[in-house]
Chain A
């Protein structure tokens, strides 16, 4: 304020200026909202996936059963089975540890089946058989499971339900039961029910639903909408709507091959972005950078009238 008093002053009404700006901005935004509206692509559900791609759903379940899902080997914060991201000795994941424990076979397969078996008695025998074999005869069960997964991967559909049910007992019955549950919509509801606080009226934690869909199911759809990392990435919403384009600076770090292809990509990109923000805050004291405004005289345009009047 003191510094302003050195200059010639003129009448001003800040409140009126703000109100004019506010009305102008409201009109602009309402026009944009009326003309372009907003993205309408509804969420992807486990139910719609099970209905549109039952074979895909069964493969996802079999990867959960066989311990081949992405979450199985993810590591912290879900389990201890994966490599942590690190930069030298810096690894925040290691400090955090397992804070959101998930065992895919339990969360995505056994828990929903146990709940279903409590109302569908015909499921109890195959489920008990599966749990017994899992515990005492793991080798034998593994052979049946692997063989059924190979059959699913082959894409063949030549045998009768009765034949498959006998040949791949009990896994065939159980996987098809989860598929039927998913088609009805029950499966998704059962996934998150054991999360803390979710076994009540309010269920806002979608962690397990999203983790079930992660990998092939959601990736294929993102590819279709041109939204995966090697396409438009975060810059694009569904349809022709813009995504949060201001985060393009952050996601561009992933486009640098040395970062994007690194097993520590997320930690490096996030840390680099953090450093960039700190540097941005320090621009006023960064040599050379803080001189740019004086060498690219855009300020002469900004204060053109002032300089002319001064002459």
Chain B
């Protein structure tokens, strides 16, 4: 098997820009509901950019300087907005039965993104540097201890949390999001439910 050939074929055929970035979309995509996925992704971009600035300057900067506090506020509200859009996106996809016509994997990837983002954002709260972080580190350690992972990830050790929050979990989220978007484009945007045959759900 020639790996180089396989990769070239994949890029040419499966990452075809006409498929990934079309200039025409079906008329039904004009519903505003389709925007919530895009808004979730836009919020993620704001989180990544503000997060990079915070990482460059470090925790003391974003806790004690006025500019740092502003970026922390952007990051904080970015997370609220991100989850708001993500949850509205999930609920609307549910009511559109968005898993139809071979889109089950897209749904699964969405649920994975949702659950990993929940953990990522919670770890972010634990790195906030205030009383909430301390209190919830102490509270959450019981849950982490009960599932036997403290020897691997100690939630009271901020260096582990920092690595998780700024490197490992974002990379997982970006990879899953890339796959989610790729499949959305490969399969096309979910079409309206056929009213005549709606109970088939197929």
Contacts and interface: CB of A to CB of B under 8 A. Distances in A.
Contacts of B33: 302
B179 interface: no
Contacts, number: 279
A12 B198 contact: no
B131 A3 contact: no
B159 A205 contact: yes
Report the interface size class on chain B.
Answer: 35 or more
Contact of A92 (B22, B138, B148): B148
What secondary structure prevails in chain B residues at the interface with A?
helix
A294 B132 contact: no
Contacts of A221: 131, 135
A266 B143 contact: yes
A142 interface: no
A210 B134 CA distance: 7
A207 B154 CA distance: 8
Contact of B111 (A41, A76, A281, A307): A281
B23 A267 contact: no
B130 A96 contact: no
Interface stretch (A14-22, A129-137, A163-171, A175-183): A14-22
Most interface-central of A1, A8, A245, A300 (chain B CB within 10 A): A1
What secondary structure prevails in chain A residues at the interface with B?
helix
B80 A4 contact: no
Contacts of B97: 290, 293-294, 299
Interface string B133-160: 1111111011101111111001011110
B150 A100 contact: yes
Given A99-B150, A214-B138, A205 B158 contact: yes
A30 interface: yes
Nearest to A205: B157
Given A10-B30, A12-B25, A21-B35, A41 B131 contact: yes
A85 B95 CA distance: 39
A247 B39 CA distance: 21
Interface string B84-103: 00010000101111010100
Contact of B157 (A34, A41, A207, A281): A207
Given A38-B76, A204-B158, A306-B28, A293 B95 contact: yes
Contact of A43 (B25, B43, B75, B130): B130
Contacts of A185: none
Given A241-B76, A266-B147, 5 more contacts: A4-B191, A205-B159, A211-B156, A218-B134, A222-B135
Interface of B: 19, 21-31, 33, 35, 38-39, 41-43, 45-46, 69-70, 72-78, 80-81, 83, 87, 92, 94-97, 99, 101, 104, 107-108, 111-112, 114-115, 118, 121-122, 125, 128-139, 141-143, 145-151, 154, 156-159, 162, 185-189, 191-193, 195, 198-199, 201
10 contacts: A17-B35, A24-B42, A29-B78, A38-B75, A41-B132, A227-B135, A244-B118, A299-B192, A306-B27, A307-B192
